[in-house]
């Protein structure tokens, strides 16, 4: 018999949502857990059809930033809201939210806002990668949880 992780094709310990639910779930030791009031509890009641016929959405892990990265981000001119890394590892900051062109860099489309290479800082922000599906909101780097 397949485990829950194998059945749903989700690694153990990875947080996910089921369907349109705002609830967070994860599987540990072949047991389904539900996050309730910041505590993981065994999920004892869930409709089987919601598991079988709903989309499963993996919740991305929150990026971790060093103190140096937080201080640097906090001091970026506030007109810039977004930060992303191109395929070649160069970091750019953007006024408007960029999107991937699919090839090697982020685009801002027809709404040309200010953007520039964040030269000299490519050694920082190691958790920001070209493989990210979305750019990072600069404020999220330094704001407290």
What's the confidence (pLDDT) of residue 142? 92
Q: Is the pLDDT of residue 16 over 70?
A: yes
Q: Which residues pair with 137 in a beta bridge?
A: 82
For the chain, give the number of residues.
145
* pTM of this structure: 0.60
- The label of the residue with tokens 């540990």 reads 28
Mean pLDDT in residue range 5-33: 87
What's the confidence (pLDDT) of residue 47? 76
Higher pLDDT, 26 or 53: 26
What distance in Å separates the CA atoms of residue 125 and residue 26, rounded to the nearest whole number?
28
Query: Contact 101/107 with Cβ under 8 angstroms?
Result: yes
- Read off the pLDDT of residues 22-46 as tens digits, 9 standing for 90 and up: 788 999 999 999 998 888 999 888 7
- Read off the pLDDT of residues 59-117 as tens digits, 9 standing for 90 and up: 877 889 999 999 999 999 999 999 999 988 999 999 988 888 766 677 766 666 788 89
The pLDDT-based confidence of 126 (bands split at 50, 70, 90) is very high
Q: Is the pLDDT of residue 145 over 60?
A: no
What's the confidence (pLDDT) of residue 109? 62
Query: Contact 85/125 with Cβ under 8 angstroms?
Result: yes
């Amino acid at each position: 018999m397949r485990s829950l992780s194998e059945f749903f094709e989700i690694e153990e310990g990875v947080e996910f949502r089921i369907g349109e639910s705002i609830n967070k779930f994860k599987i540990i030791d072949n047991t389904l857990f539900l996050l309730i009031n910041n505590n993981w509890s065994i999920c004892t009641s869930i409709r089987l059809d919601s598991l079988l016929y709903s989309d499963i959405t993996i919740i991305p892990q929150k990026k971790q930033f060093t103190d140096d990265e937080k201080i640097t981000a906090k001091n970026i001119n506030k007109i810039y809201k977004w930060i992303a890394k191109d395929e070649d590892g160069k970091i750019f900051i953007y006024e408007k939210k960029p999107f991937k062109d699919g090839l090697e860099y982020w685009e801002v489309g027809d709404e040309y806002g200010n953007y520039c290479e964040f030269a000299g800082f490519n050694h920082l922000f190691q958790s920001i990668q070209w493989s990210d599906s979305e750019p990072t909101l600069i404020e999220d780097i330094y704001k407290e949880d």
